[in-house]
Amino acid sequence: MDRVALSGLKARGYHGVFPKEREEGQTFIVDLVLGLDTRPAAADDDLTKTVHYGIVAEEVVAVVQGEPVNLIETLAERIAQTCLKHEGVEEVEVRVHKPDAPITVPFDDVTVTITRSRV
């Protein structure tokens, strides 16, 4: 299976279990790896035979900006399901970064990574 990757999609969301997270929001960063067969698109040099990653990026940002959830695990699942709606995408790996998570010790990042497939 071939891979199309998008890294560093940024959007402001209001996800989290604490009131401050829901009120003020924070930046979330999403990395995606989409698994699909790119041979038909490459053979015909035809965008309609592959995934339009620009549209996927817009949809993922809309999910992050959309309805708040408590957990980034839930957010990752919603993003994965959005990606799998695209014809030809057989598998997706989603990594959600929450670099401003409310943690009381120094840290660089918090991430949740999931892999989902049509099967």
Residues 6+ apart with CB under 8 A from 29: 8, 9, 10, 96, 97, 99
Q: Using CA atoms, how far apart are residues 95 and 97, in angstroms rounded to an integer?
A: 6
- Binning pLDDT at 50, 70 and 90, where does residue 115 land? very high
Q: Using CA atoms, how far apart are residues 36 and 33, in angstroms rounded to an integer?
A: 10
User: Given a cut of 90, is residue 119 above it in pLDDT?
Assistant: no
Q: Using CA atoms, how far apart are residues 82 and 56, in angstroms rounded to an integer?
A: 8
Q: What is the mean pLDDT of residues 84-97?
A: 97
Tell if the pTM clears 0.85, that is, is over it. Answer: yes
pLDDT tens for 57-79 read 999 999 999 999 999 999 999 99
Percentage above 90 pLDDT, the chain: 98
Token couple for 43: 């053979």
Active site residue 98: yes
List the one residue out of 85, 89, 102 whose CA is nearest residue 24. Answer: 102
Q: Which of 20, 49, 85, 98 is catalytic?
A: 98
Average pLDDT, the chain: 97
